[in-house]
Amino acid sequence: MDLGRSGPGGPAAALAAALPRGGGGVLAGRTRRADGAAGRAVAVRPDLEQVFRADYRWVVATAARVLGSRDEAEDVAQEVFLAFSRTTVPAGEARGWLSVAAVHTALNVLRSGRRRATREAATAVDEPAADVADTVVGRDEHSRLRALLVRLPHKQSAALVLRHSGLSYAEIAEALDMAPGSVGTTIRRAESALREEWVRHASSE
Amino acid sequence: MRHPSEGVLRRLLDEPAGVSDADRRHVAGCAACLAGLAAAREDAALAGAALRTDRAADADPAAAWQRLSVALPARPATPAATTPAAAPARRRAGWLHRPAAAVLAAVVVLSGAGVAAATDWLPIFRTEQVAPLEVSTDDLVALPDLTAYGDVAVTGDDGPRQVADAAAAEAETGLDVPGVGDLPTGVEGEPAYAVVGELSGVFTFSAEKAAAAASASGEPLPPLPAGLDGAQVRLTAGPGVAAVWTQPSGLPSLVVGRAVAPQAFSSGVPFETVQDYLLSLPGLPEDLAAQLRGFTADGSTLPIPVPADLVETSAAEVGGLPATVLESRDQALAAVVWVEDGVVTLVGGSLGPDEVLDVAAELR
């Protein structure tokens, strides 16, 4: 993927047009409003299905890093692809765009608290075969660390998740409109904060 | 010289080629920076464990597409893609050009065939914080990027992926998944199974690039053997499978892995010629070069770049075969590795050497 071809402002600017920052609104609703303001119907891009089938699991995995729940990540993926369907981002650059969109949207979901307690409860009951991630870092610890993601500065949490999703430092810099030299420091601070949270939790037990 | 920033140390873990030579050299000889690097690696591994999403691979694109189709306002009359396969091709090209991928390929080529197995599996092991057992801090810090000496192309599997059980892993890889007898104390539950496909790396030597790199480094390029310009070395490794038991801290309590041993193929000139010349290039660390000289082209040995500052090695036997035991100096991790009939097997984890040898001896 080559995020550098998204033109001035890069994917960050493209996303600003398509995705809400903060707040808890449903993305699809906002996008519809934007469409209405433009006063015209927006055609669905013809390569949507191809991109969707190629990158759907990737988007779910990226969102799931933030949310810890596949079901919620799939909801986010729906919103992300709906937004993507209205863009003209070239298919070859789709994955970079989708990654950033997935992280922003998932963090917004986490921040806004529009989480489904009922779904979480149902998930716990319906899926006795625990997530492998839950055996690595227990379910409680996951919730605690995810809560920390929200408390971190947005760029720190976004850079952290994008890095662990496999984006290069150059791609992260482009996506988050950061100086390339500051990406490592930003990721390091986020991971250090996670470590402190982990230690604080462990010592309180 | 000033110490590189924490951000630079963090990038060394992921993209060593993105860090300046001066910083890499400094870190290699600075105890404080090496300690900082180790701390960064630990924190990154913890974050990686916290952000893991194994079950995301279970998502069903077909069902999700149905759901999205309902939400879409209108479907075009001809939804068929106009440029089939364009997206994956582009994505792969982008991945190949990442510095990290280039360094990966450098590791594959530089170490002859052997470390390719470890490289192939690096994503698993890095996640599980076993990376120090495969690649030393010095390797990460001082390994030259081979793209300066030619073209590097890695093809193959996109990375390890989770599968449901041992049977699925066997079906995907064609390998017998080792069955473990009695689990060591502290290892509990069922393992998670991951598989990787075959990885292939092609390095095409370029005399022009090598000459440019040499003049840039201020050192003369060693005389070029006949036929080396344009010579290609292809290395393959995998497929492989790993069964991973984890403990709450995120460390693997036990990893049992098996992979098809790597092999080297060359065109134009023998692999040994390419290897020897790479070994003579300026900037190659002497300790790494010494290890490389012992390698063979047929993949029958298992060269592992052992980080002497972190790991002690010793010889042992598993089922009558020579094996190498690795133990981290802090005694937190141990592993045993051996090769049989072109298949590499590794047993390791947060265990003692005796425990990994016991597990290895009882593999079915």
pLDDT tens sequence across B254-288: 888 887 766 666 666 777 787 778 777 776 555 55
Query: What is the domain extent for residue A31?
Result: 3-204
Q: How many CA atoms lie within 13 Å of A108's alpha carbon, on the beta-carbon side?
A: 19
The answer on pLDDT for A23 being more than 80 is no
Quick one: closest CA in B to A183, which residue?
A: B7
Three-state secondary structure call for residue B335:
strand
Q: How many CA atoms lie within 13 Å of B199's alpha carbon, on the beta-carbon side?
A: 32
**C-alpha–C-alpha distance, residues B228 and B206, integer Å:** 8
> Which of B53, B90, B192 faces A64 most closely, judged by CB atoms?
B53
- Average pLDDT over all residues of chain A: 69
Q: State whether B5 and A95 contact (CB < 8 Å).
A: no
Q: Chain-centre distance of CA B342, in angstroms?
A: 18
Q: How many CA atoms lie within 13 Å of B277's alpha carbon, on the beta-carbon side?
A: 23
> Which of A49, A61, A93 faces B53 most closely, judged by CB atoms?
A61
- Residues of chain A found within 8 Å of residue B46, distances taken between Cβ atoms: 191, 194-195, 198
Dihedral in degrees, nearest 10, Cα atoms B282, B288, B289, B291? -170
- One-letter identity of residue B286: E
**C-alpha–C-alpha distance, residues B96 and B86, integer Å:** 16
Three-state secondary structure call for residue A53:
helix
Opening angle at CA B65, ends B62 and B71, nearest 5:
155
Three-state secondary structure call for residue B237:
strand
The stretch B345-361 carries a mean pLDDT of 86
**C-alpha–C-alpha distance, residues B11 and A185, integer Å:** 9
- Residues of chain B found within 8 Å of residue A74, distances taken between Cβ atoms: 59, 64
Residue B156: pLDDT band (50, 70, 90) is low
Quick one: closest CA in B to A2, which residue?
A: B94
The pLDDT assigned to B163 comes to: 85
A-B contacts (CB, under 8 Å): 194
Nearest-CA distance B297 → chain A (Å)? 32
Q: Which backbone phi and psi does B362 adopt, to 5 degrees? A: -100, 10
The stretch A189-196 carries a mean pLDDT of 92
pLDDT in tens, B157-212: 455 677 889 999 899 888 888 889 888 877 878 888 877 777 666 778 888 887 77
**C-alpha–C-alpha distance, residues A130 and A134, integer Å:** 6
- Residues of chain B found within 8 Å of residue A135, distances taken between Cβ atoms: 189, 192, 246, 248
> Which of B61, B68, B248 faces A138 most closely, judged by CB atoms?
B248
Structural domain count of chain A: 1
Beta-strand ranges (E) seen in chain B are: 150-156, 161-163, 192-196, 199-205, 232-237, 240-246, 252-260, 263-267, 311-318, 321-328, 334-340, 343-349
- Residues of chain B found within 8 Å of residue A44, distances taken between Cβ atoms: 72-76, 79
Lowest mean pLDDT among A98-107, B265-274, B300-309, B321-330: B300-309
> Which of A132, A181, A187 faces B192 most closely, judged by CB atoms?
A132
Quick one: closest CA in A to B162, which residue?
A: A132
pLDDT in tens, B32-63: 999 999 999 999 988 888 888 767 667 888 88
Judge if the upstream peptide bond of residue B239 is cis by omega within 30 degrees of 0.
yes
Q: Which of residues 119-148 of A touch B (CB under 8 A)?
A: 131-133, 135-138, 141-142, 145
The answer on pLDDT for A34 being more than 90 is no
- Residues of chain A found within 8 Å of residue B8, distances taken between Cβ atoms: 184
Closest residue by Cα to residue B317 from B296, B343, B342, B340: B340
Q: State whether B90 and A92 contact (CB < 8 Å).
A: yes
Q: What angle separates helix A139-151 from helix A154-164, to the nearest 10 degrees?
A: 130
Dihedral in degrees, nearest 10, Cα atoms A114, A115, A116, A122? 170
Nearest-CA distance B8 → chain A (Å)? 6
Count, residues in chain B: 364
The stretch B100-118 carries a mean pLDDT of 29
Burial class (CB in 10 A: 0-12, 13-18, 19+), A155: middle
Nearest-CA distance A195 → chain B (Å)? 6
Quick one: closest CA in A to B45, which residue?
A: A191
Which conformational region is residue A19 in: left (phi greater than 0), alpha (psi within -120 to 50 degrees), or beta? beta
- One-letter identity of residue B212: A
Nearest-CA distance B283 → chain A (Å)? 25
The pLDDT assigned to A120 comes to: 43
CB neighbour burial string for B101-128, b if at least 16 within 10 angstroms, e if fewer: bbbbbbbbbbbbbbbbbbbbbbbbbbbb
> Which of B8, B51, B75 faces A44 most closely, judged by CB atoms?
B75
Nearest-CA distance B7 → chain A (Å)? 4
CB neighbour burial string for B21-42, b if at least 16 within 10 angstroms, e if fewer: eebbebbbeeeebbebbebbbe
Which conformational region is residue B74 in: left (phi greater than 0), alpha (psi within -120 to 50 degrees), or beta? beta
- Which range in A40-44, A76-80, A83-87, B217-221 is most confidently predicted, on average pLDDT? A76-80
